[in-house]
Structure 1
Amino acid sequence: MVQEFLSFFRVEPRMLLWLVGITFTVIIVFQYVEFPYGNALFSLFSTGKFPTSSSLSFQTAEPPSKSQIFDDLNLTISNQFNHTGGHAIEIANNTSNSEGKDANPENDSVKEPAREYGSSVGNSVQKSDNGSAEQKVREPEQTNFNITKDLTNNSAEESVTTRSEHSAPSPSSAMTPIDSPPHINPPTKVNSNITTSDLSNTSNIMSENSAISNVPEDRKHSHTPIPEVTTISEMNNLLLQSRALYRSTMPRWSSSADPELLWVRSEIENAPIVKNDPGLYAPLYSNVSMFKRSYELMEETLKVYVYKEGARPILHSPFLRGIYASEGWFMKLMEADKRFVTKDPEKAHLFYLPFSSRMLEEKLYERDSHSYQNLIQFLHNYVDTIAGKYHYWNRTGGADHFLVACHDWAPAETRERLDKCIKALCNADLKEGFVFGKDVSLPETYVTNMQNPTRDLGGKPPSKKSPLAFFAGKMHGSVRPILLQHWENKDPDMKIFGRLAKSKNNRNYVQYMKSSKYCICAKGYEVNSPRVVEAIFYECVPVIISDNFVPPFFEVLNWESFAVFVLEKDIPNLKNILLSIPNKRYLRMQMRVKKVQQHFLWHTKPVKYDIFHMILHSIWYNRVFTLRARSMN
């Protein structure tokens, strides 16, 4: 026993030496690869509470609440597809140069920036499409893939251009951002009747959870444009990919409406083939069978709950005339509807927030205030009221809610709290946060006669259309001056003008549209223009010159079958592009313009397939295909 004991001690020192050597080797290797905690020994044995130097970035944090964890997980899931407002798709095959590299302005590839819960941080003034002032708002860019969000770690600035009929903020001012938490804490006292007077001092009434930060002086007025241009063909690919990738926020609890929508999706995806339908001309649609089945199911199934909270004029007060009339006409017809509207929110598939972005700007924007933060705060307070009184918003974070807004400021005003909503926007700009698969491009319709919105409908037959192309309008933005520089008074076939002389009921403008083969729809300060719908209204083939503009009803319409898309950089070659279109193809497109016309007409009493039903259908269609439902078990 003694000998065995002594022999053990003769071997043990060697084993100890090997063990010590291996340990130090492992430590050196760990130090070399630089583990995230900054020190290998502490990374092996520490819980993260003992940083070894002031350079360590590791910080302890308070454990989040259950609601925070839920919302943060939702944000993390949606950010896997990296899009504006936390809801997007990452298109690996359509991404161009990375940040910091010089981008080719002729590159048609897509680069989708990710934006988070941030607010406007700068502004500048320009003139709008109707002679009003325009405000440019820049917003910090942030991407967050972690469960615990840092809403103040903004890495880059994006620009959002907006316009107003009043004087807008000047370039010398900067707006203070409000970073609101994604989850909504119901107010202790619910105000179910929001009025304008309640918000007279909204600039001083900020949410307790809001974080106000100063903007560095050198970043207030910087404007870094996104040069990438998305062609109409690439938009079709993006839409298809969004159908496969994008899903809305997982609801916190199940609803009886969810399984109904899942069944509807299956029915649409397996729609019977439509051979001949007198009401639908197949070449106008991406898939006429799916559209027909979806529209039928909408008529049979859809129930919309319209919130009654809030007072006029911002809520429940439709504006029915002018270039922003789309939102007003939809509001008027939706609130009066008896087929789709339900009084029982438990039965609703969608929830409508009936505010007017046009009236919001007119009633709350303070002239020369250099800020429209109070407009944003009004919408935040409105959402707080809804979330505090009802549980429907909190179930999905607003994913089954929708808004219809045509004012150019709407994309910026509806960020943060309303990011998860389905947004029907006239300003449907891919560079300004339009989310494929979720958001809807709202047709901008210039209504002059409220009693008869279809007055003067129609145009001359193709044989009597003499000018090759026509455009007239104010010199807003950068595209129209280039258009006039190359074509004004340069060619008798190209009737390209600035603003036409005033005439009764704008007769000169209307007659030019009715008698021209192609009507040029050039963007102003924003991508949208009422000329797109006007061209269809007057049976003139629209030529859309507006990079990154998502045309209306893009979910179902095949726009290339009846419209021409010209990149802004190709304006010098505009006539050759139009002349290269064979006459046979032009006649076919012009005929299709007449057939698609039914989808762009307002009626005092809605009719099947008209613009009211098409807007509602696009909202319904996107909700059906983005729904994520919890198990009903």
Structure 2
Amino acid sequence: MSSDINGEHDMDGKPVLPLRPEAPLWSTGADKELIYAKNEIINAPLASDDPDLYAPLFRNVSIFKRSYELMERLLKVFIYHDGAKPIFHSPELKGIYASEGWFMKLMETNQNFVVRDPNRAHLFYLPYSSRQLEHNFYVPGSNTIEPLSIFVKNYINMISTKYSYWNRTKGADHFFVACHDWGPYTTKLHDELRRNTIKVLCNADLSEGVFIRGKDVSLPETFLRAPRRPLRDIGGRPVAQRTILAFFAGQMHGRVRPVLLKYWGDKDADMRIYSRLPRRITRRRNYVQHMKSSRYCICPMGYEVNSPRIVEAIYYECVPVIIADNFVLPFDDALNWSAFSVVVAERDVPKLKEILLAIPESQYVTLQSNVKRVQKHFLWHPNPVKYDIFHMILHSVWFSRVNQIQIE
């Protein structure tokens, strides 16, 4: 999180491109509250020891704490009721699209942030599912997602014609949440949606010109096997019982995984890299047990930069090793990922074991301890709790909107 909320310098003092959105067509009381919040965050008091926030996990814990406090106190979200199921208001709570589904479910039933009066809102939520778009509009074998993009464009055009709220900011105070790989691409036929809206995306790829760092939000991809028990299997073995140096098992799609398998598949007893776990191995230890027993869990990109393995590693208290160039990591505005993960450039896959072994034992122990500490920020709860993943997503959207508001 930048210590200069205007975005002119990052935490290390390096200049970054400032966001200069167009001024709203007219001002509201919500705008005045955002200006107040921005001033408060800029002048955030130094955070004293907070038992709920471990400072090394954050880019700037003082700014995060003050921003979160103001979100809790001020933030109001209006949810459009337009749109028929299943595309709208139909959360998918199981599998790799669970992030967008759980956020939708918890946002739509929230009584703390949601308001019925849009004139009080700081943010406007567009409650459609990118997974349902794919399921209902993609024609298998067609190799085009244009029908999905057309649907989204028509929906935004309807919203902007029926209500005045989109046009006031040209979509800058609107947001949607999409975990499907195609989420970013479905915005391309509507310029204001692509350029202005806060896009909360699992596929947070800087190289494609859709995800805009400092405005858009990188959404953690969470794979949930049991929606009724989202916290099932959380936890892992202590350091002394983590006998595997590095582990990965998964499909060999994308540009990184085949290289990973080429260099490390069945090549080294310390590097347990598989395209599929052999049955002779799963009889003794299944996929989850491997993650719980490994020091490092390899999280390579697939077709796109995001991977559910990053959050799985955190759930199973295994240090994630992230291999995905141009990927903006989840909650990058707030969290200091170097405190609890290892990022390896795609070109360095051949040196992967050397890189991991070069990490001193004391540093590894700190990384693994911090994985356990950061875990609570990635957990789904049927009833959200402070600082959990629901609130972290909402905070990132709030912080983005505050960051965009102009102080006269």
TM-score tier, shorter chain, comes to over 0.9
Whole-Å separation in 2 of the counterparts to 1:428 and 1:263: 30
Contact 1:249 1:628 in 2 (8 A): no
CA contact (8 A) 2:150 2:189 kept: no
Shift of residue 370, structure 1, vs aligned partner: 3.5
Letter in 1 for 2:35: L
Select the structure with the greater relative contact order (CA < 8 A; seq sep ≥ 6). Answer: 2
Gaps of 5+ in 2: 1-6
- Residue identity matched to 1:551: L
2:288 counterpart of 1:515: no
Shift of 1:249: 2.6
1:396-545 matches, cutoff 5 A: 396-417=169-190, 418-419=193-194, 420-432=196-208, 433-501=210-278, 508-545=286-323
Distance of 2:68 and 2:43 partners within structure 1: 14
Q: Distance in 2 between matches of 1:412 and 1:528?
A: 15
Q: Is it true that 1:315 corresponds to 2:92 in the alignment? A: no
Correspondent of 2:19 among 224, 246, 249: 246
> In the alignment, which residue of structure 2 is the partner of 1:377?
150
* Correspondence for 1:598: 376
Identity across the alignment (%): 59
Name the stretch that deviates more: 579-588 or 382-391: 382-391
Offset of 1:269 from its aligned partner?
1.1
1:366 Cα deviation (Å)? 1.9
1:544 counterpart SS class: strand
Inter-CA distance 613–539: structure 2 relative to 1 (3 Å threshold): same
Give me the whole-angstrom Cα distance separating, in 2, the residues matched to 1:412 and 1:237: 32
Q: Give the aligned partner of residue 302 of structure 1.
A: 75
Residue pairs, 1:7-46, within 5 angstroms: none
Segments of structure 1 that go 5 or more residues without pairing to the other structure are: 1-88, 92-234
Cα offset, 1:539, TM superposition? 0.1
Give the alignment of 1:536-575 within 5 angstroms. 536-575=314-353
Query: Is 1:352–1:401's contact at 8 Å kept on the other side of the alignment?
Result: yes
Q: Which amino acid aligns with 1:470?
A: F
The 2-side partners of 1:399 and 1:239 are apart by 26
Match of 2:57 among 247, 266, 284: 284
Offset of 1:248 from its aligned partner?
2.3
Alpha-carbon offset, residue 238 of structure 1: 10
Q: Specify the SS of the correspondent of 1:469.
A: strand
Alignment: residue pair count: 397
In structure 2, do the counterparts of structure 1 residues 236 and 501 end up closer, same or farther at CA, with 3 Å as the change threshold? Answer: farther
Residue type matched to 1:441 in 2?
A: S
- Match of 1:517, SS state, is strand
Deviations, residues 434-459 of structure 1 (Å, cap 9, x unaligned): 10110000000001101011100000
Q: Which residue of 2 aligns with 1:37?
A: none
Structure 2 residue matching 1:519: 3-state secondary structure: strand
What letter matches 1:573 in structure 2? Answer: K
Tell me if structure 1 keeps the 8 A contact 2:41–2:66.
yes
Letter of the structure 2 residue corresponding to residue 421 of structure 1: T
Q: 1:345 pairs with 118, 134, 150, which one?
A: 118
Residue by residue over 1:226-271, the C-alpha shift from the partner in whole angstroms, topping out at 9 and shown as x without a partner, is xxxxxxxxx97799624xx113232111111111101101111111
Q: Could you say which residue in structure 1 is the equivalent of 2:3?
A: none
Deviation (angstroms), 1:364: 1.1
Equivalent in the alignment of 1:330: 103
Larger radius of gyration: 1
Normalising by structure 1, what TM-score? 0.61
Q: Does 1:366 align with 2:159?
A: no
CA RMSD in angstroms, aligned pairs only: 2.1
In terms of mean alpha carbon deviation, does 359-368 or 613-622 score higher? 359-368
Separation of aligned partners in 1, 2:129 and 2:357: 42
Displacement of 1:416 in angstroms is 4.1
Q: How far did residue 90 of structure 1 move?
A: 11
Deviations 1:283-338 (A, max 9, x none): 00000011011111000000000000010000111111111110000000000000
Matching of residue 355 in structure 1 with residue 128 in structure 2: yes
Q: 1:403 and 1:238, CA in 2 relative to 1: closer, same or farther beyond 3 A?
A: farther
